[in-house]
Every structure is written in structure tokens, then in C-alpha cells.
Amino acid sequence: MLTVPRRGRFWYRGARRGAVVATAALLAVSMVAASQTTARSVAVVESTVGANWRGAYDLLVGGEGVLSSAALETGGLVEENFASLGGSGGISADQLAAIGDLAGVEIAAPLAFVGQLETPSYGLLVGASEADGAASDFFSDTRAIEARVKVTAPDGVQTHTLSDSTTVLVTGQADEYPVIGTNSNAVRMDLAASRDSWNVDMTLPGAPALTSGLIAIDPVAERALLGDSGQFLDTLVEFDEQQSLGAEQTTLAGLVDPVAHDYEHVNLANGYQEGPVVPVVVSNAAYPSLQGEVTFTPLDMSGTSITDLVNPDDGRITADGAALVDQAERGAPTTSTVDLTAGLTPFGLPALALALPGATGAPGGAATESVPNLTPALPGAAVRTAPSAQQASTAPEETTTLLTATPQGFTDLNLGVLTQTSNPGLKVEEQAYRQEAESAADPEGVPLYVPVGTYTPGDITGTADSASYVPLGTYSAADVRVVEPGEHDGAVLAPSFSGRGAVLPAPGAITTLGAYAAMRGSGDADVVRVRVADVQGYSPQALDAIGVVAAQISDLGLDVRVVAGSSLDEVGVYLPEYFADGDLGWTTQEWTSLGAAVRVERAQIGATITLLVVALTGVSVLASVVQIAGTGRRRREAVLLSSLGWSRGRIRRWFLTEDVPSLALVVLAGLVAAAMSTTAVARGTSGAAALVYAAVAVAGTYAAARTSTRSPRAATGPARAARTARQVGRRVARAHPASGALSATAVIVLTCGAIAFASVIATAHVAAGTTRIATLVSASVLLPQTILAVGTLLAGAAMFVAGIRAGLLGAGAHHAMLVTTGWTKTALSASVRAQVIASLLPGIVLAVTIGVLLTTRLSSDLWAPLLTLTLSVPTAAALAAAVWAHRYAHTLSTTGAHR
């Protein structure tokens, strides 16, 4: 009698369950790898959110209803320059003090919109300066020059011509003195003739009257809010402290540069009494760029005396002189370009001078101080509505919030330009998209504005490109980009002239709330930016602490928005009637999306957990199917063992012993995966996968051990003969249900895994939003999420291959017999193809059904790609199986049945 040693028997019994052990190992590896990948993904989400969830402040506070009404019109988002939402106060000094007294408040930085500073128009100085005027050829010869000054302003998509004037200038010498004359009443002329130096100049039209905003802050709180970036406020802080302590004006004068601002310095030193003293930090780039194009065209006046051209009493060119000028031969023109707003501030006018052709030097001049007029006009809130269907059809992709600006009518841009022009009908307009806000009260007396520093508008804190950046409400104009296909696509719109256009400009000057109160009689703030104390990292506890302070401020009767955890999101704004003859189209800008951090954290962690569940479910199903597939064979073995006298208990123990390696692998992997998991759902999923597998294994053992003494039911008659090769193949498939079940299940797992991955990634992207922090987090978790999905698909592919292979090997004897009976290669190929397709068909039907049901429960935007995926995966599986079957049949027919 042949016997096998006890140790050999154990390994033999384990080897008989090789497929089960292999799938158990696959499940074990999948559990550990998926849990580790999920834990890593969750950690990446939490660390990325934790590093980017908090900006300069946590709460935005406005007057009652101000922020709420604005948020209703903008889809819950807060526009970048939210200072424009106010303008009429709303937060009293008592309420501001109450906010600062709250125990949880670290910084409360108020902001108020005071009004518009109007800088007077100024001109361009042209002329000549000769060190030895009496001997100069410039003055000894009579000259006539046609001067054309064209002032333009680009707005990003078009260039506005603000003025276009032409003036004739004549120069010469009479009675040993220089003479200058013009044909324009609007041109100012000056003569300066000393013993040696001769200077003549005239002022041609230049920059129009320009306006810029004046805002008020608490300089101490603002500097704390800005951190190291707030050093430009140091002098304003000192001035405000001295002023609030009642310091003498002579003391305050010491904080003013006596050279750059001698007018203000002298007035303070002498004790200014006509109105409030208003310290200001001035923007050094307050105005849009204005370009002056100056073209000089010389006129040949040879043989003509200056006295024949100019009336010595008024400096005007006479009628006879004008006739001579008209008849003069024109020379080659020369053109110069001057930046009219370089160095222009609300409190200082630059010196812009050009030399006439032929002159040795330009006329001298120095920058002059300016006292702007404070107008109480304030820019109101922009009016926006939902876009029309036609507008929405061309909206930018990936932009979820879409609005259409409502035109408020064109405003005139060339007010204040010197009016003598060769084109008196020139009219330049800008479309307004903001309402005219209720004007503030006029200031008390005549304020003395005292510049004590400068700042550069833009990214004050250097964090504008970070995911955690929260706009400060002022300091910089919004970045508005054109995304309408066409010639303007990609252009960046410049700040508006009127303050009511598409882009709100940055303020021209910043003063203190104390000075604001002295000007208006009260210092109500429009908004307050609050930073909560003792908040460290991102956590539910941190959000709760911020929420507590928000509730306390709300109890003061104020409107509060939690901006901690927010992020900038792209908004599409359609600009109709931007041009006089049509629309500009779609533009994009970034607004603050509240709650973005919480939204992206929940969406991406939820997506990762979902993929974990899908991955482990798929692999668990495959492993369970392999377990179940062996039940039939075990039942046949149980019948034999029972006939040898074995009890059911002994048979079960025998079978369970064979499954010890696979059960041990899965249980151990489940424990390791649960220990590595960082979420309860992940731990539960790993434990459930191990328990399901163990339950299936034990249930299969008990089912296999239940033998029956009844004989198999006898056939009632001969089976109907198969008429075609395909019918033979389908019968062979029914004879091997275990391998068919494995391959069919693999198709279901592959299809559902692909659908789950695509839908989870897509829906997570939508749920997370398109904010900066969402983009950052989504990019960081894409790799681990892809690994989870690919792991599931690889497991499904492996089981698919194993199922097809097992089916072909199991039917190998049938196929060999068909070859020996003379079947052709074509007939064998058709039979084998029918066999594998028949084994896959239940899986294909179920996969398509499940895919359709899953797809119809998702957003309609995903239907087309997911339905395509639902049909593509089973189709690809069927084609792969058919190709495999064809190659198998070809090989078998070629090598013969002996293989």
C-alpha cells in the first residue's frame, strides 16, 4: 500500500488549495497596501489643508446685513475688494471697541471708505533753455513749430484717447530779449531772460483731473495684521499716537519731510487752524498709466521776423502771422512719448518737460505739491445677475460661479482736460458697472492732508499666490482677465478711471480712523477683519473656537463671515456693453469661497475612503468566488471520505486544516491593515473584508462536508445532440461553472472598479470645488487614489486571466478529443470562443446593469463618459477572451491532440 509521510501529506493538502492560497495572499496584500495608501492619502489631505487653511485673519465683519446681501448676489462668495461693499459705515466705534474687548480676539483691524481724492489736471512743459541766450542760434533765428499732444490711456483691451490737441508755437528775438508766441489761449507761457541765461516755456495739455480713493484704518491693528509687511505704516502709527495724545502741531511737524512736503511742514509748524490735520500714507502708483505722445513739426520761417508773427502785447500770433505760418514749408516731424502718471500722487505733481527742436536744453522745473479736493462720492456695489442661456453657453470651463455685470451707463473720462484741441468733438467714455453710492458727509473745515509715508499697491504681504491667501479688502486692484475667445483673450483689465468700472482701483491714500472721525464727526467702519487668538493648527477644535468668537460678534448686531478655511475661487463675470458698439464678453477673477478647506477635506478623504471600500470589496469578492468555486470538488471528496467511514466532523476538520494558511494570511493582514488605518471607516472596511472571507471559507467547508447518500438523479433520456460548434462550446462552458464564475466576477469587478474610480474622482473634484486649496489638495492625492484604483483593476485582471485559463485547462480533454475526431481549426476556434464568451456572458450582463444603475444615480454631466466606460470594459474583456480563445485553438490544432 502506498503511503505518504505526515509532513508530506500536509504540504500536499496545501498544494491542492494553491489557487485559494494565491487569492488569499492577493487579498492580504491588497488590504495592507490599500490601508497604507489610504492612510497616506488622508495624511496628505490633512497636512495640505493644515498648511493652507488660514490667512491673515479669520472673520470678516460688516454692518448688519451688508455681507449677507452681497453674498446672496454673488453665490456666497466675497469679492476681492470687499471694502467697496460698505462706504456708509455700519460698525460704530462702540461696536468696534466691543469686538476688541472679546477674550478670543487677537486683532480687530477696521477699514472705512472715506471718499475720493481728486488731483487737479496738469500740463506738459515744453520750451527751450539756453545758457547764453543772446548768442544762441535758437533765438537769433525765427522758428515756428507745430506741437501736437495726444494723451492716451490703455485699459487692457483698448486705448482711450483722452485729448488730442495741436498748437503752433513761434520763438525768436526782439530788442535783445526772447519772444514766444502761440495761436492758443489755453497755453500758458513764461519768459525768463537774465544777463546770460534765456528760458522760454509753455504748458500744453497733459493729464486730466484724476481721482483715487481715500480709506481709513486703525494703523496699530493694521500693522499687526500685516506683520512684517506693515512697516510702511510705522510713521502713521507714531503720528496717530502723538495726535491722539494731544501733541502740539510743532511736534507733529517733526514727522513730516520738510523738503518733500514743505507746505504741510510749514503749516503744522505755524499751527494749522482751518480744519482737521489728516495724516496719510500715499500710494506711489495710484493712477492708471497715461501716455503723452508729443509730435513736433518744424515750419520753415526763413526770412521772417518774429515781430511779423506775434502781437507783443498778448503773445498771440496775429492774423498776418497765421497766414505766414500756414504758407510755411513743413519739415520732418519728431515724436516723443512721456509717461504722464510716472511719479504722480494725490499730493504731488511731477515735473514733465520737453525741449523744442533745436534747443540746447528743456525748460527747468521741479515737482510741485498738490492739495487734492476730497469729494464725498463713493463707489457703490456692483450690480450682477445670472447670465442668459446664450451667455452661459460660451462661459469658461471649470468655472462654477457665473455672473453677468449690469451696465449702469457710460461715464465721461476727459473731464478736466485742457480744452483747446483740434478735435473739440472728442468724447471718451467708460462703462460703469457699479451704482452711485450715497455720498458721505462733507469734511469739517478744510483738511490739511499730511503725507507721512508711501506704499506700493499690489501684493503687500507677498502671499497673493498662496492657497491660504485671503484678500485684505483693499491695497490692490482685482486681477481681471479676459477669457473670451478672440483678439482680447488673455488681456488683463486695468483699474477704471471713474472707480465705477469693471476693476475697482486700489486707494490712493490711507489715513487713520481718528482723522476720519475728525473729518466726518464720526469714525464708523465699513468692515473689520478679525484674527482669533490661540488658534494653532487646523482641527475641529480650532474651527469651533473661531465659531464661538463669530457668534459673540454676531450678538453685537453685526454681520459675520468666517473666512478661516476659505480660499480663492475663480468666478466668471460677463461684461456686456463694455465697448460703445458691443460686449467684451467673459472675464475671470478670484473671489473668496467660504468654507473651502472643510469642503475639500471632506470631499477628498471621502473619495479616498470610497476607493478603499471599492478596492477591498472587489478583491474580497474575487477571493470568495475562488473559495466557493472549490466547493463542488470538495463535495465529491466528502462523498469518498464518507464512504470510508469518516464522520462529518472529521471531514470538516480535514477541509479546515487545508484552509489554515489562507485564513491566517487574511486575518493577519486584516489586523495589520486595521492598525495602520487612521479612520474608523478604513479600519471597519479592512476588518469586514477579513471577516467576510473567513465566513465564506467556513461556510464553504460546512457546505462541502454535508454529503448525501442519495444517488444522482438518473437522466430521463439521451441529451439532444449539439448541432453547431458554438453549441458544443456553450455546453463545455456549462460543464465548468467554477472557472466561468471566476472570470464573470472578474468582469464585474473590472467594470465596477473603473466606474467607481472615474465617478469618485469626478464627484470629489466637483464637491471639493475649484478653489486654490482644492486644486492643491486634489493634485496631492491624485497619485494615492490612482494607486487604489489601479490595484483593484490589476486584481480583477489577474482573476480574469486565471478564470479564462482555468476554463481552457479544465476543458482541455474535451478540446483534444475534438481535434482527434477531425475538427477543423475554424470549427475548434468557434467552439472555444463560444465557450469563453458563454462563461463571461453572465458577468457582462451584470456588469452593464450595475454600471447603468450607478451612472443614472450620478450627475447627468457624468452620464456620457461613465456609460461609455460601462460598455467599454466588458467589450474589451470579451474581445480579449475571444482573441485568447482563437490563439489557443490555433495552437492546439497545429501541435496536435497529444499536447
**Residue whose C-alpha cell reads 488658534 in the numeric block:** 535
Q: What is the pLDDT of residue 868?
A: 87
- Give the count of beta carbons closer than 10 Å to the beta carbon of residue 249: 18
Domain positions in the chain are 8-30+608-707+723-896, 122-465+484-520
List of residues 6+ apart from 513 with CB closer than 8 A: 110, 112, 216, 217, 218, 523, 525
- Residue 148 bridge partners (DSSP): 166, 295
18 — pLDDT class (breaks 50, 70, 90): low
pLDDT tens-digit series, residues 269-282: 998 888 899 999 99
Amino acid of residue 763 = T
In terms of pLDDT, which residue wins out, 491 or 165? 491
Beta strands in 100-139 (DSSP E): 105-119, 122-130
Q: Is the pLDDT of residue 525 over 70?
A: yes
Angstrom distance (rounded) from CA 53 to CA 469: 9
How is 152-181 classified by DSSP, letter by letter?
EEE-SS-EEEEEEEEEEEEEEEETTEEEEE
529 — pLDDT class (breaks 50, 70, 90): very high
Range with the lowest mean pLDDT among 87-101, 128-142, 253-267? 128-142
In terms of pLDDT, which residue wins out, 707 or 560? 560
Q: Is the pLDDT of residue 143 over 60?
A: yes
Q: What is the pLDDT of residue 631?
A: 75
Give one word for 87, left, alpha or beta, with left for phi > 0 and alpha for psi -120 to 50: left
Q: Is the pLDDT of residue 477 over 70?
A: yes
Of 231, 225, 243, give the one whose Cα is nearest residue 528: 225
- What backbone phi and psi angles, to 5 degrees, belong to 142? -75, 130
Angstrom distance (rounded) from CA 319 to CA 373: 40
Q: Is the pLDDT of residue 738 over 80?
A: no
- Give the count of beta carbons closer than 10 Å to the beta carbon of residue 135: 11
413 — pLDDT class (breaks 50, 70, 90): low
Mean pLDDT of 536-546: 88
What's the predicted TM-score (pTM) here? 0.77
- Asked if residue 316 lies in contact with residue 330, where contact means CB atoms within 8 angstroms, the answer is no
Q: Is the pLDDT of residue 897 over 50?
A: no
pLDDT over 70 percentage in the chain: 89
Q: What is the pLDDT of residue 439?
A: 58
Mean pLDDT of 554-561: 91
Q: Is the pLDDT of residue 5 over 50?
A: no
Range with the lowest mean pLDDT among 11-25, 273-287, 657-671, 813-827? 11-25
Range with the lowest mean pLDDT among 10-14, 528-532, 705-709, 893-897? 10-14
Mean pLDDT of 213-236: 92
Distances (CA, A) of 711 to 701, 707, 708, 714, 736: 22, 11, 8, 8, 21
DSSP state of 230: G
Angstrom distance (rounded) from CA 228 to CA 223: 8
Helix axes 772-810, 18-52, angle to 10 degrees: 170
Q: Is the pLDDT of residue 10 over 50?
A: no
Q: What is the pLDDT of residue 896?
A: 59
Q: What is the pLDDT of residue 425?
A: 56
Angstrom distance (rounded) from CA 564 to CA 546: 8
Range with the lowest mean pLDDT among 278-282, 781-785, 877-881? 781-785
pLDDT tens-digit series, residues 50-84: 888 888 889 989 888 777 666 666 666 777 766 55
Q: What is the pLDDT of residue 420?
A: 43
Angle at the Cα of 521 (from 516 to 525), degrees rounded to 5?
Answer: 50
Angstrom distance (rounded) from CA 641 to CA 705: 10
pLDDT over 90 percentage in the chain: 18
pLDDT tens-digit series, residues 615-662: 888 888 877 877 777 777 777 788 888 888 888 888 888 888 877 888
Mean predicted lDDT score pLDDT of the chain = 82
Q: Is the pLDDT of residue 423 over 90?
A: no
- Give the count of beta carbons closer than 10 Å to the beta carbon of residue 17: 20
Q: Is the pLDDT of residue 85 over 70?
A: no
- Asked if residue 778 lies in contact with residue 788, where contact means CB atoms within 8 angstroms, the answer is no
Q: What is the pLDDT of residue 417?
A: 46
Angstrom distance (rounded) from CA 376 to CA 283: 19
Q: Is the pLDDT of residue 100 over 70?
A: yes
List of residues 6+ apart from 8 with CB closer than 8 A: none
Mean pLDDT of 482-511: 87
Mean pLDDT of 762-778: 78
CA 216, 63, 384, 459 dihedral sign is positive
DSSP state of 474: S
